[in-house]
Amino acid sequence: MATCVPAVSGALHYGVTNCKGHSYRRSASFSDVPNTGFLQKDLSWSKAVSKVLQIHRCGFSAPPLHKDQKLFKVISSWKKDSPTKYFDFIVIGSGIAGLRYALEVAKYGSVAVITKAESHECNTNYAQGGVSAVLCPSDSVESHIKDTIVAGAYLCDEESVRVVCTEGPERVRELIAMGASFDHGEDGNLHLMREGGHSHHRIVHAADMTGKEIERALLKEVISNPRIFVFEHHFAIDLLTCQDRSDMICLGVDTLNSKTLEVIRFLSKVTLLASGGAGHIYPKTTNPLVATGDGIAMAHRAQAVISNMEFVQFHPTALADEGLPIKPTKPRENAFLITEAVRGDGGILYNFGMERFMPLYDERAELAPRDVVARSIDDQLKKRHEKYVLLDISHKPKEEILSHFPNIASTCLQYGLDITRRPIPVVPAAHYMCGGVQAGLQGETNVKGLYVAGEVACTGLHGANRLASNSLLEALVFARRAVQPSVDHMKGSSLDLTASNLWPRPVVPLPLGSNVTDKIMSTTKELRAELQSIMWDYVGIVRSTMRLETAEQKIGSLEAKWEESLFQHGWKPTMVGPEICEMRNLFCCAKLVVSSALSRHESRGLHYTVDFPYLEESKRLPTIIFPSSPVNSTWSSRQLHKQPMYQ
C-alpha cells in the first residue's frame, strides 16, 4: 500500500517504484534511502521538507499536461448552476484552520469553502479546553517550547515548535480583534487555565466551549465577506492532479452535493486541505461524524507524503455512558468529551475503590500528558476488570465548577449526575491524529498548489503526543503561514478552462435502483462497525506486533470483502456516494495507522507496544509514508479518475 520509512538505524526495507510502475523491494542503509538528509537528527523537518517531498513520481498515472500548456487563467467568477466552478482558492474544511485561511486569502481573490456538513460541524466546534499561548508575563515562549517537546516525547521538530509558540500569542490577539470572546478574571485580564503537560497557566478559553466561540466568530466574518462562497453538504471525493515533468500539481477537487446527489467539480490555482482528523476509524471517539479521514486519504491518493500516523491520541477522559445514573436512550454518534481543564483545575482520578491511582504511574499525577494518563487508565481498567474510572471535581466550590464547566455540568445533569456533588465516570476515547499530510513551515506539501493546515497536517509540532490545547494554536499559526506562498502561487499561475476535461467525472449510482443501493449501504454500515472494532481491539492504546499484524490481515480481508460485495451488486469504481466515499477513506487511514505502527520498533509517546516497551534514542525519527504505487493498490488507495470510465 505504501512505502514506510520506519524509525530504525542500519538496514531497512523500503519499496521503490520504477518508471514502468513496477514495484520491487530492496534492502538499504540510510545512505541509500531517497532524500536521506531528512532522516538526520541534526536537520529539522522544516528545513528538509522540500527535499523529502521531491520523491519518485515517474510511475504515477495522473493526466499529463500538454506541452507548454499553462495551468491557469485568472478566473474569479463561477456560474451558480454549473457542474464546474472556478476559484482562485479552494478551502476544504470549515474549522478554525480553513476559515482563518479563507479570510486572509480572500484579500487576493475568490474563495470557495467546501464542507461536508453544516459549516459549524467540525472538530473546532467540539473543542472544549482552549488555545495555549504565552499571554502572561510570568510565562515564557521557552517554557512553552519545552513543555511541547517533552509532551511530544522529543520527536517534535524544534523549528516548528518555536514558530508556533512564538507566533501563537499574536494569532490569539487577532481572534480577539475579530470578536472572539474569551473568559476574563476579576482583574480584567484573560483568565488562563492550566492543563496536563503545561508548566504554566496559559490556556485562553471561553468556559468549556472555546471551540464553539471561535467557530462563531470566524463564521460571522466569513459569511459577511463577499469574496468567500461557502458550499455546505459538499463531500470532497478526490483531489484533481496533473503531472508536469517531475512535479505533481493539484488543480482542484471533485465533490458530491449530498443533498442533490450532483457531482460538482471545483478548479482552482490553490487548494488548502483543512479537513480535520480520522477519529471515526475507532468506535469510541470524541470527534463529530464528519471526521472520517477524508483529507488524509485524498492526499495519500494524490501522492502526498504522509507522516507519523501511528500516533493516535486517545483523550483520557470521555464521558462513560455506562456509569451515568440515567443511561442515554440511544448510542452517541460521538463520545462526549470531559475537557483536560477539569484535571487542570484540580480534578482527581479514582478507581472504583476510590483509590487515587495517577501518583502510582507518574509524579505529575493528573497533570501528566495525555498519553501517560490514557495508558494509566487503560491499565487500571484491565487490572481491575472495570469499564470506567471516576474523575472527581466535586471538592471545588460549586460556583467555580459551574462557572468553568457549564457545558459539562448541564450535559451530565441531563443524565442525573450532579458533578458538583459526585464524580464523573470517564473512559479513554480516540481524540486526535498527531500524524497526517507532511507539511513544511508554510503548510506546503510535495504536491504543488496543495497546502495543509490543522489536524489533517503533520507539521512536526506534536511529535509523538500532542500537548493539550496546542491543536487550535497550530491551526491558527499554519493557516496564517500558508497564506503568502498560496498567494504567490496563485499570482504566478493562470487557469485554462479546458482543464475541466482532463479527468473523467465520478458518477452517481442512480441506475442501480433503491433496493440494490439499500443493500450496499447496509453492508457498508455493518463492515464499517467491524473495521472500527478491529482498530479498537488491535490498534488501541497498548499494542503488540502480533496484534498489529492481525489487524493488518483482518483489515485487508475486510476491505476485499467490501469491494467484492460492492462490485457484485453492480457498483463501479467511478461511482460515488457519501457512505461509500467515507468507507474508502476509513479503510485508507486505518491501513496507514497500522502500517506506521508496525514500522516503529520502540514505545514513544502515543505509540506503546509491549514488544518494544522502551524509548530508543536511535529511533527518534519520524515515520514517513511515501506515495504508493498505483500497481496492485486497493480501491481506497487509488484516485477515482485513474480508473477506466464505466458506462
pLDDT of residue 630: 53
Residues 542 and 453 in one domain: no
Q: Does 477 map to a domain?
A: yes
The parent domain of residue 353 ranges over: 341-428
Q: Tens digit of pLDDT for each residue in 427-472? A: 999 999 999 999 999 999 999 999 999 999 999 999 999 998 999 9
Residues 246 and 146 in one domain: yes
Average pLDDT over residues 112-133: 74
Domain limit, last residue, from 400, 428, 456:
428
- Residue, of 42 and 327, whose pLDDT is higher: 327
pLDDT of residue 129: 65
Of 277, 280, 310, 312, which Cα lies nearest the Cα of 296? 277
Average pLDDT over residues 475-501: 88
Average pLDDT over residues 9-35: 28
Q: Does 40 map to a domain?
A: no
Domain limit, last residue, from 370, 400, 428:
428
Residues 117 and 251 in one domain: yes
Least trusted range by pLDDT, from 137-146, 202-211, 281-290, 397-406: 202-211
Domain limit, last residue, from 401, 428, 455:
428
Q: Does 639 map to a domain?
A: no
Residues 589 and 538 in one domain: yes
Q: 202 catalytic, yes or no?
A: no
pLDDT for 176 beyond 60: yes
List b or e across 452-491, with b for residues whose CB sees 16 or more CB atoms inside 10 angstroms. bbbbbbbbbbbbbbbbbbbbbbbbbbbbbbbbebbbebbe
pLDDT for 234 beyond 60: yes
Catalytic choice (370, 375, 584, 604): 370
Q: Tens digit of pLDDT for each residue in 48-106? A: 444 444 433 333 445 554 434 443 333 334 455 679 999 999 999 999 999 999 999 99
Report the CATH number at residue 571: 1.20.58.100
Least trusted range by pLDDT, from 9-13, 155-159, 220-224, 587-591: 9-13
Q: What percentage of residues in the chain have a pLDDT greater than 70?
A: 83
CB 253 within 8 A of CB 231: no
Residues 350 and 452 in one domain: no
Residues 307 and 194 in one domain: yes
Residues 486 and 564 in one domain: no
Report the CATH number at residue 252: 3.50.50.60
Q: Does 2 map to a domain?
A: no
Q: Does 569 map to a domain?
A: yes
Q: How many domains does the chain have?
A: 3
List b or e across 227-247, with b for residues whose CB sees 16 or more CB atoms inside 10 angstroms. bbbbbbbbbbbbbbbbbeeee
Does residue 91 sit in helix, strand or coil?
strand
pLDDT for 337 beyond 50: yes
* Type of residue found at 563: E
Report the CATH number at residue 393: 3.90.700.10
Residues 141 and 218 in one domain: yes
Q: Tens digit of pLDDT for each residue in 264-281? A: 999 999 999 999 999 999
CB 281 within 8 A of CB 430: yes
pLDDT band at 195 (very low <50, low <70, confident <90, very high): confident
- Residue, of 180 and 512, whose pLDDT is higher: 180
Residues 579 and 601 in one domain: yes
pTM of the model: 0.86
Q: Tens digit of pLDDT for each residue in 290-312? A: 999 999 999 999 999 999 999 99
Residues 202 and 282 in one domain: yes
Q: Does 46 map to a domain?
A: no
Residues 424 and 477 in one domain: no
What average pLDDT is seen over the chain?
Answer: 85
pLDDT for 11 beyond 60: no
